[in-house]
Amino acid sequence: MPLAAAPNLDPAAIARLAGLELRARHVVDGYLAGRRRSRRRGQSVEFAEHREYVPGDDPRYVDWKAFGKTDRMLLKQFEAETNLVCTLAVDVSESMRFRSAQAALSKFDYGACLATALALLVYEQRDSVGLFTFDDRVRDSVPISANPNDLAQIAWTLERSAVARQSRFKDAFDEIADRQRRRSVTVVVSDLLADPAATLEGLKHLHYRRHEVLVLHVLDPAEIEFPFERATRFQGLEALPEVQVEPAGVRRAYRAALQRYLDRLQAGCRDAQIDYELCRTDEPLDAPLRRLLTRRAVHGG
């Protein structure tokens, strides 16, 4: 699969992806390849659940007993061994455009590179990938496909994304859950800068809908370390006002509040069996993916 198929990546990012492909391939073989259970129609496999009938579906799989009881056209869904489906959900809200002097890429650009790298790895394992971009709701999507040529469509969709609205993670995650017809490994790429209770509620909705959820939590190093020394005027994002701050007077309280936020978010993900990885935008692109995939391989995926 030629890396040039991802036109939104500059040469340096392409070089990083090439390295990631080589270093992470064994881990991805162990996790993303292999066989996973996923829905398809058929009589020789195990019944899983119902979904609403839509025009064009094979009427042979309509559950007529359920129709007699509920007056609803429901289609039987079955389980069969098939390849993994990966759904990428990338945050395009305004706060993702932040980039400090310490980072070469904005949070969005870094997250888009993470998503494209992961899509490349999944395609190379002959598995399927789809994409949603979101802020307060889903903005764009790329249908699930196992065709590697669709990597260019994913990269182009991310590249042209220019939405700068306020994020509402619960609403967006609820919509993503409702729009997914097949169970998948759903990878959320976001700074998650919102009330952690609402964020976790949305992530849990994805999990309760039988998706396996992974979170790539993208933060700028300045957001983590608060390295500012002089009096600074911080520009508000996502409808927040500007704030004039004397950094020395708030640094300790800021870092403590950030740690409480991270602890709550990580604990919530752990309790909900959601895999979580913190991604700093000043670290090499392959680092968080290698950590995440290695950990999952060690613990059996």
pLDDT digits (tens, 9 = 90+) for 131-143: 999 998 899 999 9
CB under 8 Å to 163, separation ≥6 — which residues? 92, 93, 133, 135, 139
pLDDT for the residue numbered 132: 96
Among 18-27, 200-209, 223-232, the minimum mean pLDDT is found in 18-27
Counting DSSP H helices and E strands in the chain, the numbers are 9, 11
Specify the higher pLDDT residue, 103 or 39: 103
pLDDT in tens, 161-180: 865 567 788 899 999 999 98
- By the 10 Å C-beta count (0-12 exposed, 13-18 middle, 19+ buried), 88 is classed as buried
Best CA proximity match to 50, nearest among 76, 70, 72: 76
CB under 8 Å to 103, separation ≥6 — which residues? 110, 220, 221, 222, 281, 282
Q: Could you say which of 3.40.50.720, 3.30.420.10, 3.40.50.410, 3.30.465.10 is the CATH number of the domain covering 3-34+84-298?
A: 3.40.50.410
- pLDDT above 90 coverage of the chain, percent: 33
pLDDT for the residue numbered 123: 85
- d(C-alpha 252, C-alpha 267), whole Å: 22
pLDDT for the residue numbered 79: 45
Domain boundaries, the chain: 3-34+84-298, 37-81
Q: Residue 185's beta-bridge partner residues? A: 86, 212
Specify the higher pLDDT residue, 158 or 242: 158
Among 172-181, 217-226, 287-296, the minimum mean pLDDT is found in 287-296
User: DSSP labels for 104-117?
Assistant: SS-HHHHHHHHHHH
Query: What does the pLDDT average to over 52-79?
Result: 74
What's the Cα-to-Cα distance from 44 to each of 55, 120, 178, rounded to whole Å?
24, 33, 28
**What confidence tier does 51 reach under pLDDT thresholds 50, 70, 90?**
low
pLDDT in tens, 223-274: 999 887 766 666 656 556 567 676 777 889 989 999 999 999 999 999 999 9
Q: Which two tokens stand for residue 29?
A: 């073989």
- pLDDT above 70 coverage of the chain, percent: 70
- d(C-alpha 199, C-alpha 91), whole Å: 13
CB 68 within 8 A of CB 198: no
When the pLDDT of each residue in the chain is averaged and rounded to a whole number, the result is: 77
What is Dmax (Cα atoms) for the chain? 72
Amino acid at 198: A
Specify the higher pLDDT residue, 109 or 124: 109
Q: How many CA atoms lie within 13 A of 192 on its CB side?
A: 28
Query: What does the pLDDT average to over 40-48?
Result: 46
- d(C-alpha 260, C-alpha 218), whole Å: 17
pTM for this prediction: 0.74
Highest mean pLDDT among 48-52, 91-95, 121-125, 234-238 belongs to 91-95
CB 107 within 8 A of CB 148: no
